[in-house]
């Protein structure tokens, strides 16, 4: 009976800590409405007017023009109880010049109403620094003294990050003077090109506020200078639970600083430093911090960071004290087969093996191939090589360059001369294989177009053929990759060169085959989209590819998707390229 009483007490304690969000929300999310004027927005205005206690308004997945925003704003002026502006992805297809005035109308309405915001979500709107300028007055007003969640993900903020930091500091100063200091909990600003200036400015704001619980700033081009500033700021946020800085560039300098910054954060649960190039020395510093600190850790991602075996073993050993651990990601580093087995053994000995993710993309022990070694220095500290050691570029893959001396080496996997059996474009299209694509010959692109005839100019057919070409992807055969690129260039350059090409249709069809959109024809998406993702990574870089639909892809690819997310390397490679463009 004593045990039963203890169980009941534990359950009661758990329930007391569980919070269920309940608020009155008017939602038009995902309806694809094109709202140009007040008449188009009539249904939304009516719903707002008729709601007696509207705390939340969702407009994501629609497109709102200036006049429609002005009309909606008029209705919001009467809603003092309004708390949550969930307005992500609501300007698709709008001119960049339309967005700031629309935001100003909506922001002015919130201030006029006397509302006190808890959440402001303007993610996926690609409004750049001008968007921040448009909401700066709102951010500094009493309407935001109560703000807890700011979500500006994928907005192309750039220098707007500094403007936002300044606005947050002003808001904190003004709200503190009134006895209710800004207590921001969640800050989301991934994929915004913040770089060091933006990260450093925001770090100063975080340090000033000191109440953050979640910070997510992945894919922002931040290197060790900005990372160090953020690490110092995190020390002033004792309630921090989640830190996501995925796909920035720490290098050892930044990782060592971050390890110091996280050392005393007792409530930290999730750390995502995947694709951050923390390197071996940085991972060792993080292992020291993890050994005695961060007791509540549940998830740790250090994948694809050029981490060596010994440092990874130290990380694994540090997991022994992590009673709440659910996930440890170390994939894509430099352990070698023996290192992978050793890490698994350590995790098993600590009874944490179930938490260890796959190591299938391990890059091999960094000591195994001397020809691939390079000095572990920070990117901005590297000196240009001179003299004989610099070597020269040689086209022959069977030769390895050492200064001015050429020495033969054994061909690597995929470089062995292939016996190609001739094939026709028709044979390939009826049943695609890598060998058939090679067998068409060097003019395979032209032959495929000739086989298609007039259908090559049809957006749907062209994408279907591109999918067939990409489906034969083979990472181990360079000749196959080149053949795919050659064919893709022929198909897509011809398609996009048409004066009446419907680029949006091309984009939609590609997303359908990737499984990111559904269509009326119920097209079955690719079971393994790896090849299409990597083919697109090549295609989007070409001059023929329309730059105005790049944002179209980044928005959909940035959303969680089970199949796409399983192709982590391919998705990462494509996202990186899109981000640079």
Tens of pLDDT, residues 157-205: 999 999 999 999 999 999 999 999 999 999 999 999 999 999 999 999 9
Q: Which is more confident, 407 or 544?
A: 544
Q: State the burial class of residue 215 (Cβ atoms within 10 Å of its Cβ: 0-12, 13-18, 19+).
A: buried
Segment 297-318, tens digit of pLDDT? 999 999 999 999 999 999 999 9
Of 140, 196, 146, residue with least CA distance to 164 = 140
Tokens of 284: 């060792």
Tokens of 237: 């946020």
Q: Which single residue is written with the structure tokens 């936002």?
A: 164
Is the pLDDT assigned to residue 579 strictly greater than 80?
no
Cα distances (Å, whole numbers) of residue 462 to 3, 189, 430, 453? 67, 36, 15, 11
Judge contact between 273 and 250, C-beta under 8 A.
Answer: yes
β 399-402/405-408 pair status = antiparallel
Q: Kindly report the length of the chain.
A: 581
Q: What is the mean pLDDT of the chain?
A: 86
Phi then psi for residue 186, to 5 deg, are -125, 125
According to the model, what pLDDT value does residue 419 have? 58
Chain CA centroid to CA 496, Å: 28
According to the model, what pLDDT value does residue 577 have? 85
According to the model, what pLDDT value does residue 427 have? 87
- In whole angstroms, what is the distance from residue 148 CA to residue 120 CA? 9
In order of their start, the domains of the chain are: 222-368 (3.80.10.10), 425-580 (1.25.40.200)
Q: Please state the rounded mean pLDDT for residues 105-130.
A: 95
* DSSP designation for 422: P
User: Across the strands, what pairs with 58?
Assistant: 27, 86
- In whole angstroms, what is the distance from residue 534 CA to residue 571 CA? 8
- In whole angstroms, what is the distance from residue 233 CA to residue 256 CA? 15
Segment 472-506, tens digit of pLDDT? 998 888 899 999 999 999 999 988 888 888 888 88
How many CB atoms lie under 10 A from the CB of residue 219? 23
Tokens of 227: 């990372």
Q: Which is more confident, 498 or 65?
A: 65
Radius of gyration of the chain (CA): 27
Residue 407: its H or E element? strand 405-408
Segment 341-378, tens digit of pLDDT? 999 999 999 999 999 999 999 988 765 443 333 334 44
Of 338, 285, 283, 331, residue with least CA distance to 311 = 283
Cα distances (Å, whole numbers) of residue 134 to 106, 119, 142, 168, 562? 10, 17, 16, 14, 36
């Amino acid at each position: 009976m004593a045990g039963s009483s203890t169980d009941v007490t534990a359950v009661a304690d758990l329930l007391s800590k569980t919070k269920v969000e309940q608020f009155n929300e008017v939602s038009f999310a995902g309806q694809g409405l094109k709202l140009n004027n007040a008449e188009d927005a009539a249904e939304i205005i009516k719903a707002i007017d008729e709601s007696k206690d509207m705390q939340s308004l969702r407009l994501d997945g629609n497109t709102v023009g200036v006049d429609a925003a002005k009309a909606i704003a008029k209705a919001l002026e009467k809603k003092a109880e309004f708390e949550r502006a969930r307005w992500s992805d609501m300007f698709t297809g709008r001119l960049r010049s339309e967005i700031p005035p629309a935001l100003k109308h909506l922001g002015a309405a919130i201030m006029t109403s006397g509302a006190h915001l808890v959440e402001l979500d303007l993610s996926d709107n690609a409004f750049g620094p001008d968007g921040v300028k448009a909401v700066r007055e709102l951010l500094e007003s009493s309407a935001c003294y109560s703000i807890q969640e700011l979500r500006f993900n994928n907005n192309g903020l750039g220098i707007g990050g500094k403007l936002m930091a300044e606005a947050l500091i002003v808001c904190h100063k003004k709200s503190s003077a009134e006895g209710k200091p800004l207590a921001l909990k969640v800050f989301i600003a991934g994929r915004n090109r913040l770089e060091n200036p933006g990260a450093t400015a925001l770090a100063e704001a975080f340090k000033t506020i000191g109440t953050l619980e979640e910070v997510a700033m992945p894919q922002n081009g931040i290197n060790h200078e900005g990372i160090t500033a953020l690490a110092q700021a995190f020390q002033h946020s004792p309630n921090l639970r989640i830190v996501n800085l995925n796909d920035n560039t720490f290098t050892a300098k930044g990782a060592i600083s971050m390890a110091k910054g996280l050392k005393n954060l007792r409530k930290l649960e999730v750390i995502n430093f995947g694709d951050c190039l923390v390197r071996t020395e940085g991972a060792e510093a993080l292992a020291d911090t993890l050994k005695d600190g961060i007791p509540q850790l549940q998830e740790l991602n250090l994948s694809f960071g050029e981490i060596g075996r010994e440092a990874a073993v130290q990380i694994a050993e540090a997991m022994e004290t992590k009673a709440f651990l659910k996930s440890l990601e170390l994939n894509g580093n430099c352990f070698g087969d023996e290192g992978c087995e050793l890490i698994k053994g350590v995790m098993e000995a600590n009874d944490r093996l179930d938490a260890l993710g796959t190591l299938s993309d391990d890059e091999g022990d960094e000591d195994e191939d001397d020809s691939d070694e390079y000095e572990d220095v920070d990117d901005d500290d590297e000196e240009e090589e001179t003299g004989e050691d610099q070597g020269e570029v040689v086209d022959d893959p069977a030769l390895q360059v050492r200064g001015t001396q050429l020495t033969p080496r054994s061909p690597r996997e995929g470089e062995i001369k292939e016996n190609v059996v001739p094939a026709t474009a028709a044979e390939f299209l009826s049943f695609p294989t890598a060998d058939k694509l090679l067998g068409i010959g060097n003019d395979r692109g032209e032959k495929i177009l000739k086989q298609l005839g007039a259908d090559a100019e049809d957006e749907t057919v062209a994408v279907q053929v591109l999918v067939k070409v990409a489906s034969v992807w083979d990472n181990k055969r360079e000749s196959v990759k080149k053949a795919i690129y050659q064919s893709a260039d022929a198909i897509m350059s011809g398609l996009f060169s048409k004066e009446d090409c419907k680029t949006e249709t091309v984009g939609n069809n590609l997303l359908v085959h990737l499984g990111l959109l559904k269509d009326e024809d119920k097209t079955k998406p690719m079971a393994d989209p790896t090849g299409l993702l990597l083919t697109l990574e090549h295609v989007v870089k070409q001059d023929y590819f329309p730059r105005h639909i790049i944002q179209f892809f980044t928005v959909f690819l940035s959303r969680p998707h089970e199949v796409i997310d399983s192709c982590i390397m391919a998705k990462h490679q494509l996202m990186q390229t899109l981000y640079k463009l």
